[in-house]
Amino acid sequence: MWSKGSRRSWFNVEWQDNTLVGPDDYAPFDVISPLDGEVITVYNLNRAKQGLVDNLDLNGTDRSRLGRHYDGIEVSFNARLPRGGTAFGGWSSERRIDVACELDNPNFASDPSTTTPWSYRFCDQSKLDIPFRSDFKLTAAYPLPLDFQIGATVASYAGDPLRVTWSVPTALFPGGRTQSVTIALVAPGEKYLDRWNQLDLSLRKIFHVKKTRFDASLDIFNVTNSNVVLAEIASYGPTLGNPTQILQPRLLRLSANMKF
């Protein structure tokens, strides 16, 4: 058995600055979140600055406004069982915190000392309660009499972050919309899809015919026929939450190979 932990941080991350547009070129107005009724501050670009672009690639110098931090721990093992059986598996837990506030558009980032846009708490995840997410996997195989072998794999994976985005309707922009604005309605670390658990079983038989060896296998994937949702529509609207991907249904596979 062995374990390892790591902590990594990335700084001086590259970002793009539109030198012709700054935070002062946006006018704030309030809208109501269609998800929970909370008041959201949205920013509309000054019409005189609409379409002006002169991008300059820079490296972030303020670690509190641009960077990434990763913390993780992993434990794994590999064991020999009596009579030739084997087992291996592991458990891991990790968390990633992104800080991406070095942007001109205050809809996605700004300075909280001068403005309080809804999205500031989203761009600076260090101020959010981002939990550690854990995965687990165990695989074992064991020989039986008459050249049979059975095996099983149990896996459990944390669900992906649940995101809800909303494209602010044009009619809500005072004086007319100058650019589209899509904002997040659920903060990072707040909601996740359900955990994904799967059980796979296998049965293997070995045949010997003179110098020829035949391996026949029967594998059953997702034995419990779990239909957990792996991805769903994140855009706010009548289809919000509709699944776009679910765990594959129970699957039976027969296979064989020959060595001579």
What pLDDT is stored for residue 83 in this prediction?
Answer: 86
**pLDDT tops 80 at residue 34:** yes
- Domains contained in the chain, number: 1
**pLDDT tops 60 at residue 137:** yes
Residue with tokens 């779990």: 226
In tens, the pLDDT along 48-105 reads: 999 899 999 988 877 777 888 999 999 999 999 888 899 999 999 999 998 888 777 8
Spatial CA neighbour of 44 closest among 33, 64, 30, 60: 30
Q: Which amino acid is at 68?
A: R
What pLDDT is stored for residue 125 in this prediction?
Answer: 84
What pLDDT is stored for residue 110 in this prediction?
Answer: 57
What pLDDT is stored for residue 251 in this prediction?
Answer: 96
* Interatomic CA distance for residues 76 and 147, integer angstroms: 29
Percent of the residues in the chain that have a pLDDT greater than 90, as a whole number:
57
Residues of the chain by 3-state class (helix, strand, coil), percent to 5: 10, 50, 40
The domain in which residue 44 lies consists of: 2-259
CA angle 49, 52, 53 (to 5 degrees): 140
**pLDDT tops 60 at residue 205:** yes
| pTM, entire model | 0.80
